[in-house]
Structure 1
Amino acid sequence: MRRSRDLLWIPTFALLVAFAVPWPLWGSDRVVAGLPAWIWWHVGWLGLCALAFRAFVRSGAWERGMGIDAAERAGEADATVDGGDRR
């Protein structure tokens, strides 16, 4: 079940990449708040991408995809000392 949910991230990120280019605004010279509308598209899209990546990391799919065990990751946090140096 978890593996199939992890696989749903592939089309999610593919859509994020596909719509990173403001296709609906091509040829438009519309200006909003002193900036071209396509700039606002990118600002909004980057915010959406940040939220999607946050959900991706919180779901644990990042660790599973990278082959990192959650318990191993917690142990690494305990092994750090001042300034992030490891013993």
Structure 2
Amino acid sequence: MRRKKTDFLWIGVFVVLVAFAIPWFLWADATTWLGLPVWLWWHIGWMALASLAFALFARGAWDRGMNVDPDEVGVDG
């Protein structure tokens, strides 16, 4: 059951990442911070968050989803 819970958690994480990847609510905003529009900072931060999420996903869920034994590929865990 734990595996199914984790799978649904990752699905939820990636749905949220995709849903907020484009900041539609900031497009009409002309506010700038450090010389760049706020919507561009949103993209920079969101891509950092997406990279972190993918790194965590690749650490365990990917191998499990692909039926790869972590000992087989030399991953400590």
Band the TM-score falls in, shorter-chain normalisation: 0.7 to 0.9
Instruction: Name the residue aligned to 1:67.
Output: 67
CA deviation after TM superposition for structure 1 residue 30, in Å? 1.1
1:7-48 C-alpha deviation (Å, 9 max, x unpaired):
210011010010001132121111111111111000010111
TM-score (norm 2): 0.83
Instruction: Name the residue aligned to 1:36.
Output: 37
- Structure 1 runs (4+) deviating above 3 angstroms are none
Superposition CA RMSD, Å: 1.6
Distance across 2 between alignment mates of 1:48 and 1:22: 14
Counterpart amino acid of residue 40 in structure 1: W
TM-score (norm 1): 0.74
Query: Which sections of structure 2, spanning at least 5 residues, go unmatched?
Result: none
Query: Which sections of structure 1, spanning at least 5 residues, go unmatched?
Result: 75-87
Counterpart amino acid of residue 52 in structure 1: A
**1:1-87 to 2 correspondences below 5 Å:** 1-58=2-59, 60-74=60-74
What SS does structure 1 have at the residue aligned with 2:71? helix
Matched-pair identity in %: 52
